[in-house]
Amino acid sequence: MTGYGKATGTYNDKQIRIEIKSLNSKQMDISTRMPGQYREKDLDLRRMVTQQLERGKVDLNINIASASAVAPTQINSAILKDYYNQIKQLSETENIPLPADWFSTLLRLPEVLKNEEQQLEENEWLEVAKITQEAIDQLVKFRIQEGASLANVFTAKVDNIERLLGTVGQYETERIERIKTRLRDGLQNVSDNYNADRFEQELIFYIEKLDVNEEKSRLQNHLNYFRETMQKEHNPGKKLGFIAQEMGREINTLGSKANHAELQKIVVLMKDELEQIKEQVLNVL
């Protein structure tokens, strides 16, 4: 969801520059900064941004470079005269010296200077809307480029997890034999007179609890669903985050059932790949 766009244009003698930035956010959060004469179009600009960017923390800045772009300033003569009379009266009654530079003093007082708010012309608004659209297009293009890069990262990480998952099978037979041997040796150390049939029944039950075929199957399904969602969904960010969480559940269960040093190493490597996926998913719309 990160991105940046900038566009410029002119209207009469005004140079209009519009910048728009986007950062990650679960919702649309828009902040605008613009000259006062454009404030009446704030909602229209927000609507443009929301419809096309959908999510993100967005900053929209509009700047004007022109001498006439600054609202003309006028002196409020009525207020200035009132200040003048009050100061003279206070000087006489309180024996305070009059200012040496009247204008310098009076022009700094509140509301002596006032700006005339310029009215926004329809043609100027159309030009601003056009420049805003160009900036949004630049940001969308930036997002598309970032998205293509992220897609390559996700594909590589998912492929790595799948490859690691494929290596689990070579350790399963060895793992089961080790478990059987360890349990049998433990019983013999306690007593040689154990019920072999009962031992086999308990062993089968214990090994079934440690069976990881179901976790392997579900993890493979999640990997396939991640790829499918990435390719087909319009805005897959949230769904990819949920799928990554489910992948994590299966990997954690594999780790808890492993009972084998090499399998534990595989689980750690899969977790490392998954964490990198989770970090980057936050950048997906």
Looking at the fold, whether 149 and 276 belong to one and the same domain comes out as yes
Helix, strand, coil percent content, the chain, rounded in steps of 5: 65, 15, 20
Task: Kindly state the average pLDDT of the residues 102-121.
Answer: 74
Looking at the fold, whether 137 and 9 belong to one and the same domain comes out as yes
pLDDT above 90 coverage of the chain, percent: 39
Looking at the fold, whether 266 and 224 belong to one and the same domain comes out as yes
Looking at the fold, whether 110 and 239 belong to one and the same domain comes out as no
| Cα 107 → chain centroid | 48
Minimum mean pLDDT range among 17-26, 195-204, 211-220: 195-204
Looking at the fold, whether 79 and 41 belong to one and the same domain comes out as no
Looking at residue 69, its pLDDT comes to 47
How far apart are alpha carbons 272 and 259 in whole angstroms?
20
How far apart are alpha carbons 156 and 274 in whole angstroms?
11
How far apart are alpha carbons 49 and 255 in whole angstroms?
45
For residues 244 and 256, which has the higher predicted lDDT (pLDDT)? 244
Q: What is the pLDDT of residues 38-79, one digit of tens each?
A: 888 999 999 999 999 888 899 999 998 875 545 556 778 888
Task: Phi first, then psi: give them for residue 10, nearest 5 degrees.
Answer: -130, 150
Question: What's the structural domain count of the chain?
Answer: 3
C-alpha distances in Å from residue 283, one per residue of 131, 197, 280: 26, 57, 5
Q: What is the pLDDT of residues 233-243, one digit of tens each?
A: 888 888 999 99
258: tokens are 């492993």
For residues 255 and 182, which has the higher predicted lDDT (pLDDT)? 255
The whole model's pTM is what?
Answer: 0.64
Looking at the fold, whether 201 and 243 belong to one and the same domain comes out as yes
Looking at the fold, whether 129 and 167 belong to one and the same domain comes out as no
Looking at residue 32, its pLDDT comes to 93
The listed range with the strongest mean pLDDT (55-69, 75-89, 212-226) is: 212-226
Among the listed residues 167, 162, 150, 116, the one whose alpha carbon sits nearest the alpha carbon of residue 236: 150
pLDDT band at 92 (very low <50, low <70, confident <90, very high): confident
Looking at residue 194, its pLDDT comes to 60
Q: Is 235 helix (H, G, I), strand (E, B) or coil?
A: coil
